Amino acid sequence: MPHSKRPAASSQRDAASDAAESAAASRIACDIFCAVIDNFGDIGVCWRLARQLAHEHGWEVRIFVDDPHAFQKLCPALDPGRATQTIEDVVIEHWHEPDHAGETLQIADVVIEAFACELPGVYVAAMAQRERTPVWLNLEYLSAEDWVADFHLRPSPHPRYPLLKHFFFPGLGPGTGGVLKERSLDEARAAFERSAEARAAWWQNATGGPPPDPQATVISLFAYENPAVDALLEQWCDSPTPIVLLVPQGRISGAIARFFSVASFDAHAHAERGPLRAHGLAFTEQRGYDALLWASDVNFVRGEDSFVRAQWAARPFVWQIYPQGDDAHLPKLDAALEHYARTLAEAPRNALARFWHAWNGNDAHAADAPNRTPGTVDAPPQIPPPVPDWRDFAQYLPEFKARSQAWASELAQAGDLGGNLAEFAKTQLK
C-alpha cells in the first residue's frame, strides 16, 4: 500500500470532499533514501528532488536521511532531534541505522536509492510482498561521460526477490536523466536581474553594504581546500581592476583567513588588499545560493549540486570536481569540458581547460618537467602544485559569458531530472 492517508472524519461528505479524497488516494507515493557520505551534495540533490516531485508533480514524498545535522545546514527549519517531521510538504525521517526503515514500515510506489546507499533489508523484503510492485530507481552521481547514455535506465534484477531496479543517471546530454531544474528557476533569475532593488537588498543582507561599482569583477568562491588558493588570491591582489570576492562559510574559509592574517573568515568578515575586497558570507540554505550565483560575474563551484546550479545561472564558472583516487575524477572533468566548451574557439577553449585543470591540481604541462639524469637514482624533482593563471582566463570572460548563456539553453534540451524521473516512473507503474 502507499503511505497511509488520513481517514475521513465523517460519513457525511459532499462531492468536493469525495473528489479531494480520491485525488489524494491516487497520488504517487515516493520514498528517497539518502546516506550523507561527505559534505552536502548527497542530501542537497535529494532535497531538491523531493521538493520538486512534491510541488511540481503532486507526489507524496518522504526522505530518509542518516545525518540530519548536515541536512539542517541546507534546511534551517529542520529539527535534527526529531525522528519524523514535515517541511515544505515533504516528510523527513531520521534514518537511524542501515536496517532502520522508518517508525512505521510503509512501502512507496516509487523507491529511490540515492547514490547506491543500499536500502534496508526489511524494506526490500516488504517491497517484494507488495501487491503493486514498486518502481525501484538507483539515482546515480552526475557524469558527463559518453557511457552514461548507454547505462541510463538499464534494469538490474534482484538476485533473490522478483524486483527490478533501474539505474537513473543524471547527465549533460540527450539520452541521460538530465539535471535538476525547477520550472520557476529561469523566471526567478530574470526577475533578480531586472530588479535593482532586489540586487541592492541582496548585497545589503549578504555583505552589509551596497552593490560594488560596475567596473568591479564579482567572484564567488565555494570550494574544497585547495593549495592553489593563495596563488590565485595573490593574482587578484595584483589585478588592474577591482575584484570583489564573496566566500560562503565553508572548507575554504580557513585558507582565506590565513591569507589576510585574520583569526577567521566566516559570516560578516571583511578584508582588503590592493584591488581585492573580500567578504565572508553566512552558509546559506539552497534557495539563497542561487542568488549568490546570479549576483556574481564568475562562480567557483564544487562537487555536484553547486556545479549544476552554476550552469543554470548562465555565468562563467570554474568547477572543482570531487577528487578521487588515481585521478579517476579527471576524465569526468574533461567530459564536462567537452560539453561545455564545445563551441568555443580554440584559444578560449584551451584557456578554460588549463584553468579548470590547474584549479583541480592537475598540471597539463607536468609531462614537460625535467627528467632525472640518466644513470642516477635521484628522487624525481618536486613539482610545485599548478597555479591557475587568472590573467590568461580572464581575458576571455566575454567569450565565456556568451557561452554560459548558450549552454544553459542547450542543457535544457535534455529535460530536467525531476520531470524525466517522474515520467519514467509513471510508465513503469502498473
Residues with catalytic function: 42, 304
Residues in the chain: 430
| DSSP structural state of residue 280 | E
C-alpha cell at 423: 515520467
User: Using an 8 Å Cβ cutoff, are 243 and 277 in contact?
Assistant: yes
C-alpha cell at 156: 538490474
* Nearest CA-CA partner of 405 in 301, 315, 345, 298: 315
Q: 94-129 as b/e, with b when 16 or more CB fall inside 10 Å?
A: bbeeeebbbeeebbbbbbbbbbebebbeebbbebee
SS3 162: coil
Which amino acid is present at 214? P
Please list the residues that pair with 217 across neighbouring strands.
243
Q: Report the DSSP pairing between strands 110-114 and 29-34.
A: parallel
* Nearest CA-CA partner of 243 in 235, 231, 255: 235
User: Using an 8 Å Cβ cutoff, are 68 and 150 in contact?
Assistant: no
Q: Where are the beta strands (DSSP E) in 102-258?
A: 110-114, 135-139, 155-157, 164-168, 217-221, 243-248
